[in-house]
Every structure is written in structure tokens, then in C-alpha cells.
Homo-oligomer: A and B are copies of this chain.
Amino acid sequence: MSKNCVNVGLIGFGTIGAGVVKLFSRSAELINRKSGVKVALKKICDIDIKKSRGIKVPKSMLTTKAADVLNDPEIDIVIELIGGYKPAYDFVMAAIKNKKHVVTANKALISKYWAELKSACMKNSVEIMAEASVGGGIPILRGIDKGLAANRIKKITGILNGTCNYILTRMSLEKMDFGAALKEAQKKGFAEADPTLDIEGYDAMHKIIVLSNLSFGANVREKDVYVRGIKDTNAVDILYADELGYVMKLLSVAELDDKGINVRVHPAFVEKSRLLASVNYEYNAVYVKGDAVGETMFYGKGAGEMPTASAVLSDVIYLARNISGEKKPRFKSAAGKGAAVRIKKLDDVRSKFYLRFSVADNAGVLASIAGILGKNNISIESVIQKARHAHEKVPVVIMTYEAREADMKRALKKIDSLEVVKQKTVFYRVV
């Protein structure tokens, strides 16, 4: 089947749905180019089509009847963003039976009905894609399935729930107790009014089931997973963790050995030197161990309107490219317009700078250096000057505020020509 337009229908016009519509509209050209075919959003279905979502949509595109999407013979791809088991299951199954590909962010649905959905897709020769169901915008399903395609996956350790990670991070870094940190998370929009699904570990459980089924080709059910949440976390254990060289994280683990796989969700002490220990606040990360690649980690925002829309649309682009039968080399669809992208000179780049001067220990030196920096639009953030032995050269370290490369080059040339400056000044950019 080779088509010149791929039509998409969206069911669920909530926060993520609105993000998808926004990204569709603002990046239409990019999406078409990457897909090798025009991709059009044709219909949007929600029970409430009156409420404003911060994006203009033609009235004719909106409907309250899912059947208008599911039975439209022109629609090739159905995006399901209503969440939960019912009626999402019926909508997704109807779409598959009507030979439509499905993109979903619904981790509850695909963790519970993986086997059924998989077999319905096989029977109808369509695909179900769910990049957005785990790790928000992080391309983790594609990373494992395609990027690590030649590996036998041995172990997955994920920080998969942003709410819990936010709470545990605030408890660790600011010695808050659980209740106060949960309130902060709710205030910032990182936790729901009813946070049960998150803090009791069930959201993380859905996600590790999805990852396990994909990575190990397993068929893990909820009853197979040990789940312990973080709602009983006592600040005192986080203090002990710190003292012993650990931080507490809610981990989702799936591990394969010759006896099979074990899948579990629980808070754990993670050694501070491990990269996972530095994944903080609402961020997610998935550590994957493969037999060839060794240890890898994928990191990013685990939720939110635009990160999740990014994942949904990466699936749409993948499917559109397949549907269209696009077979031209990938450069055709690279992100940009080739030589049209201009190269910007370093002179215009701005950053903070670290400067180490070797100077004669002379009262006026710092003033002359500061004067030259000032004349070149460079402000000083801090100064370290340690030893002061008369008549020896001493190091003076300066951290600047953001400055232009060209200004810094000019200033250093001038400073290095001063007689009191004994060596070429050492500089590093600071990020």
C-alpha cells in the first residue's frame, strides 16, 4: 500500500492530547518530511469538545463519538490518549479490527492486555506503538527494540515514576518529611490530588511490565510483580542512607537469569557513585544492560504535555513512513535543509569563564585585570587568591559571569601583555 496522505484520528483531548495537536500544528513540515508523506490530523474525539485547550481546532474536526474516528475508512492511525482500561480497551480493539494502526500512551492498558492486543494486531496486520507509555519523551522502547536490537537484554533498572522521584529527591536534598514533599509535588503539578497510583508503586509497575514484555518477549501479569511503594518512607532512613553513601530511589527492576525473569518495584538504596543516584526531581531514567552493549542509560522527562507528545508523534512518524512505503534513503528526511543551515562563529557564543592568572604579588594587579575585564563587558562573579608571598608569582582565580567569546579573547590578549602577568592566562569555559 503506497499512499500520498496518511490520516490520523485522536481519541482523548486532555493535556497530552492538546500537546499532540500543538506539536502536529507547529511541526507539520518536519513531521511530513520525516514521514516521507503528508500526515494529516483528521478527527479529534473527546466527551468534552467545548473546553478550550489553548489551541485552535476547526469545529468540523471535533466529535464526541469515538465511532466517527474508529469507523472512518480514511483514518490510518488512531491515537488513544484517554487512559485507563475502559473504554480504552474497546476503542483500541475496534481500531485494530478496522485495520488501523494504534499509538497509545496507556500503560495500564498495554501492561494488562499485552497478549490480547499483540495477537489482534498480528491477525489484522497492524501495529500498536506505545513509546509514550514509559518514560514520557525518552525513546526507550525504540532504544531497546531497535537501538539494542542485536542484544539479549539482561537487566532493566528504571526510575519510572516522576512523582515518587520528585518526593524522594526533595526528602533527600532538603531533609523534608514525606507529607511535606508530597504537598510540594502536588503544588508543582508533579502529583495528582489522589496520588495513590503513583506513591503505591502501581504506575511504576505498569511501566516495568511494558518494558519487560517488550525486552524479554515475556508475558508478565500484574500478579507476577512484587510491588512496594514509598508512602511509608521515614525521613530517618533517608538520613541513614546519606550517611552510608546511598540515596533512596523507587526502582523498577526486571532481571533475567537462567531461571527466568524477576520483575519488581520497590524503594532501594542506590550507591551515590551510580549514575541512577543522580537522576533527580521529576526526571526518569532507564538503565539497560545488554549482553553486547554492556551498560547503557536513557534519561529525560518522564511526563508532561510536550515530552509525551514528542513520544506519541515519533510513533506516528514511524507508522506513517511504513504506511507510505517510503523507501528512499533517510537523508531525504533528515531534520533540516542541508547546506541551508548556517554555521555560527565561536565569537558570538556566550559562557561563563574560569580564569587563572599567574601574577606578581603586587597590590595593583587585581585592579588592572578587573579593569580590562570590565572594559570588555566581562563581569566578575568570584575571586580566589590564596597564598601571598611577597615578590613571588601567585595564582589568582576568577570566575566570570556570562561573556562573549570575542570579548574574552580581546581581554585575555590585553591582560597577557601586562608586565605583572608572568604566564599565559589559563582559561576554561564553564557550563
Contacts and interface: CB of A to CB of B under 8 A. Distances in A.
A86 interface: no
Candidate in A142, A274, A428 with the most chain B CB atoms within 10 angstroms: A428
A214 B336 CA distance: 9
B296 A138 contact: yes
A150 to B, nearest CB: 4
A242 to B, nearest CB: 12
Contacts of A430: 246, 268-269
A78 interface: no
B322 A327 contact: yes
A255 interface: yes
Given A146-B318, A332-B122, A337-B217, A384 B343 contact: no
A323 B19 CA distance: 35
A420 interface: no
A236 B306 contact: no
Contact of A336 (B218, B257, B334, B336): B218
A429 interface: yes
Interface residues of A, number: 129
A422 to B, nearest CB: 15
Main secondary structure of the interface of A (DSSP, over half): mixed
Given A267-B428, A431-B269, A317 B240 contact: no
A330 B217 CA distance: 11
Contacts of A125: 327-329
B299 A299 contact: yes
Contact of A354 (B244, B279, B314): B244
Contacts of A236: 356, 395
Interface in A386-427: 395, 397, 399, 426
16 contacts: A19-B292, A31-B150, A136-B293, A138-B296, A139-B296, A149-B318, A215-B335, A217-B335, A218-B339, A219-B341, A236-B356, A237-B354, A244-B382, A292-B309, A292-B313, A293-B301
Interchain residue pairs A-B with the least CB separation, the first 7 = A217-B336, A139-B147, A260-B342, A150-B313, A296-B300, A137-B293, A292-B310
Given A149-B314, A292-B306, A294-B301, 7 more contacts: A126-B329, A143-B143, A145-B335, A244-B384, A262-B348, A266-B428, A290-B310
